[in-house]
Amino acid sequence: MKKITETFKKNKALIITFFAIFILLFIINSLTIWAADDYAFYNNVWLGESKFSFLRVYERSTAFYFAWTGRYLSTFINYIFLYFPKPIFDVVNSLIYTGLVYLIYRMVKSDDKKTTDKQNALLVITIFCLTWLLVPSVGQVMFWQIGSVIYLWMYFLMALLVCYYIRLLRKQKTLKDNIINIILITILGLAAGNGFETNSLVLLMFIFLSIVYIRFIKKEKLPKVAIFGFIASLLGFFTNFFSPGNSVRMSEMGTEGGLVTKVFYYVYYFKEEKTRWKT
């Protein structure tokens, strides 16, 4: 108890700031109503059933994976939460948003011991404000029930993985090379890699460049945990990017061949548009 009290006194402004952010986010979440896909998913879940069924969640998520999207994890989570009252989601979503702010704070905070508690609190406030200014469509990405799981929650998983590699780059205390940590980072890597197509690709590039820097530029031994994290993220990315559902969705949207074809299509499209506007 004494240690907890001392920690609170030392980080009073920081702790109060995080608590205030959580309360603010919870209020906004509570005031955010269902929209669009929330109703479609809800009707799908409650069609002829009212009690939670893990098997039904698995069946519906798998069917959706083969029929529309490769974002299996976010689909799975969304089906689970739509079985329960929205206030439960509001609390969890507020915690995850607050957690994302905390992870970004851990990434960028100074290691200088002279940094004061108030300076750290100001940094957290700045990060929180930037999430509002830099994230497009904040309501859809951070508070909309279906959207926040697809985007915010996957950002959180990616940030969690990125934190490990940043600590590795800074030579800070990090995960030990043991079977438990390898299993944990493999699960995290698969989840983060399956998250969201473009962001997962950026995640892979960051991890890859981190590994190249440590192993070939710094010429230091690379932990097995770091290697497994990259491999798992790559596999997770493949399960999303090359999923059957993505091919089906792209075909219905008039783009044959899946996401790979879509990427090249839009590269060509923007090139043509740029040329047209010049003329």
For 146-161, write each residue's pLDDT tens digit: 889 999 999 999 999 9
Q: Is 126 exposed, middle or buried (CB count within 10 Å of its CB: 0-12, 13-18, 19+)? A: exposed
Question: What local confidence, expressed as pLDDT, does residue 57 receive?
Answer: 85
> What is the model's pLDDT at position 214?
92
**pLDDT at 67 (0 to 100):** 83
- Name the burial class of residue 75, with classes exposed (0-12), middle (13-18) and buried (19+) by CB atoms within 10 angstroms of its CB: buried
Tell me, what's the pLDDT at 254? 58
pLDDT of 199 > 90? The answer is no
Residues 6 or more apart whose Cβ sits within 8 Å of residue 134:
none
| Model confidence band, residue 177 (pLDDT cutoffs 50, 70, 90) | confident
pLDDT reported for residue 211: 94
Per-residue pLDDT band at 39 (split at 50, 70, 90): low
SS3 state of residue 70: coil
Q: Which residues contact 94 (CB under 8 A, 6 or more apart)?
A: 22, 25, 26, 29
114 vs 99, higher pLDDT: 99
pLDDT: is 46 or 145 the higher one?
145
For residues 205 and 9, the model is more confident at: 205
pLDDT of residue 125: 95
Helices (H), 11-116: 12-31, 37-45, 54-67, 72-81, 86-108
pTM of the complete model: 0.84
State the pLDDT at residue 255: 54
Angle (CA) 7-13-16 rounded to 5° is 90
For the chain, which residues make up each domain, given as ranges?
Answer: 1-150
List the Cα angle 175/178/182 in 5-degree steps.
Answer: 75
Q: How far is CA 176 from CA 187, 191, 228, 263, in A?
A: 16, 21, 13, 39
pLDDT of residue 55: 86
pLDDT by residue (tens digit) across 69-104?
Answer: 888 999 899 888 888 888 999 999 999 999 999 999
pLDDT of the residue at 232: 96
Would you say residue 169 has pLDDT above 60?
Answer: yes
Q: Would you say residue 274 has pLDDT above 80?
A: no
What percentage of the chain has pLDDT greater than the value 90? 42
In whole angstroms, how far apart are CA 122 and each of 105, 117, 144, 159, 256? 11, 9, 27, 21, 49
What's residue 123's pLDDT?
A: 94
152 or 53, which is more confident? Answer: 152
